[in-house]
Amino acid sequence: MFVSDKAAVRYGVRGAVATLTMDQQQNRNALTPALMSGLSRGLETALADEAIGVIVLTNAGPAFCAGADLSGGTPAAAGGGKRRRARRDGLADLLAAIQDSTKPVVARIAGHCVAGGIGLAAACDISIADDAARFGFTEVRIGVAPAIISVVCLPKLRRADALELFLSGERISAARAAEVGLITRAVPAADLDAEVAAVVARVLAGGPSALAAAKRLVYTIPGMDRDAAFTRTTEVSQALFASAEAAEGMAAFREKRLPSWAPPSGAS
């Protein structure tokens, strides 16, 4: 176990679940270098631990994530007035790492989520929010746009919803965020922990290699040519059916027992 830079992110393990808790309450979990570094290190640690099956991303305090850290001025101001070749942003790498993770990442959103924070929520595979949380692409109201996070948000949104939300900067309810597809669902605060635990338990019932393959399919197949997609998915299917994991899963099904990777009931 580790605690990241200045405790910006707390890392904990319980059973097969690693939890990354953003804990910069003084700035509403803004996307500081320390917080992004802590999240990246937490992901790396969880991915390297064979005992971990699911990663949960959550927050301490009343805000899930307030987006860019503006306390030291505009993040882009370091470039001065000269036009320079754009460098890859740390947030871009973090969002990519979440989506590329071979282990499912579940967001437990226990507070308000705006701007870059929505990018974190949208990048996660499953996102469950407190129904009192508010969401908003507020960037336009300070003269910028939701550029980097659009990469993970736009695939989840209808164009009509994206245009309204991006252009208005309006804050919306968690229920509305679920309705437009940014998050999976919203539940009352009293039910949040139980709902996240239930989701995690259902995910942990799947084989690790099967979960990684299923996640890759969701992110890659929609953008492929049809014939190329059929070729790729045939390869994936054949490899999985021939795997030791599938042999164990099918044997467990026939023998009416849990497969070797599944935690005992109530152990997740």
Residues 138, 142: Cα–Cα separation, whole Å:
8
Residues 7, 39: Cα–Cα separation, whole Å:
11
Going residue by residue through the chain, which has 268 residues, state the pLDDT in tens, using 9 for 90 and above: 444 445 899 999 999 999 999 999 999 999 999 999 999 999 999 999 999 999 999 999 999 999 998 876 555 433 344 555 555 569 999 999 999 999 999 999 999 999 999 999 999 999 999 999 999 999 999 999 999 999 999 999 999 999 999 999 999 999 999 999 999 999 999 999 999 999 999 999 999 999 999 999 999 999 999 999 999 999 999 999 999 999 999 999 999 999 999 987 656 5
Count CB-CB contacts under 10 A for residue 3: 13
Count CB-CB contacts under 10 A for residue 202: 12
Closest residue by Cα to residue 195 from 262, 127, 132:
127
- Alpha-carbon 238 to chain mean position: 29
Burial of 96 from C-beta contacts in 10 A (0-12 / 13-18 / 19+): middle
pLDDT confidence of residue 87? 57
Q: Which residues of 99-128 are buried (b: 16+ CB within 10 A; e: fewer)?
A: bebebbbbbbbbbbbbbbbbbbbbbbbbbb
| pTM higher than 0.85 | yes
In the chain, the DSSP E strands lie at: 9-14, 17-22, 54-59, 63-65, 105-109, 112-114, 126-130, 134-136, 171-173, 185-187
Contact assessment for residue 55 and residue 20, using Cβ atoms and an 8 Å cutoff? yes
Residues 207, 214: Cα–Cα separation, whole Å:
10
Residues 60, 62: Cα–Cα separation, whole Å:
7
Angle between helices 90-100 and 33-48 (to 10 degrees): 20
Q: Is 244 left (phi over 0), alpha (psi -120 to 50) or beta?
A: alpha
Longest dimension (CA), the chain: 69
Phi–psi pair at 55, nearest 5 degrees: -115, 130
